Amino acid sequence: MRARKWMTAVLIVATAGIVLAGCGGGSSDKEKSESPETTKAATNAGGATTLNLTTEDFKFNPTTLSATAGKAVTVSIKNTGNAEHNFSISSLNVSKDIEKGESETVSFTPAQSGTIQFFCKYHKDSQGMVGTLNVT
């Protein structure tokens, strides 16, 4: 009888542990509401913004980036796809090739607020290889 009580106690504690573990470590409501198609900017002490971008098989992830007019921007681009890709912004004279499996960075400073298109010059006709830089 004592072994049975001990086993019951162990099962109750184990079940409680599993239930409590399932309740923790989740995303906040704010994180859940943010679109995976938009990236958060990291700003360093000098005011420069660093953005992360991935090129996959014929799509950018995310497709929307944000920056501030007059502030330097560095975009770190990782090509996880099976083809060479490119990151271009015509109005800012930006064009950088990224070989498959490689990473590159580009830096620029948008002068004014507005919406700027970025794209892969090799695959611009693919729907996912065009994105938007929102400058505020």
Question: Which pLDDT tens digit goes with each residue over 101-110?
Answer: 999 999 999 9
Instruction: Please give the domain boundaries of the chain with CATH numbers for all domains.
Output: 29-135 (2.60.40.420)
* Per-residue pLDDT, 22: 43
* Per-residue pLDDT, 12: 54
Buried b (16+ CB within 10 A) or exposed e, 55-72: bbebbbbbbebbbbeebb
Residues 6+ apart with CB under 8 A from 105: 74, 75, 76, 77, 96
State the Cα–Cα distance between residues 76 and 97, nearest whole angstrom: 12
Question: Which pLDDT tens digit goes with each residue over 22-56?
Answer: 444 444 443 333 344 444 455 554 568 999 999 99
Report phi then psi at 102, rounded to 5: -105, 170
Model confidence pTM above 0.95: no
Of all residues in the chain, what percent carry a pLDDT higher than 70? 65
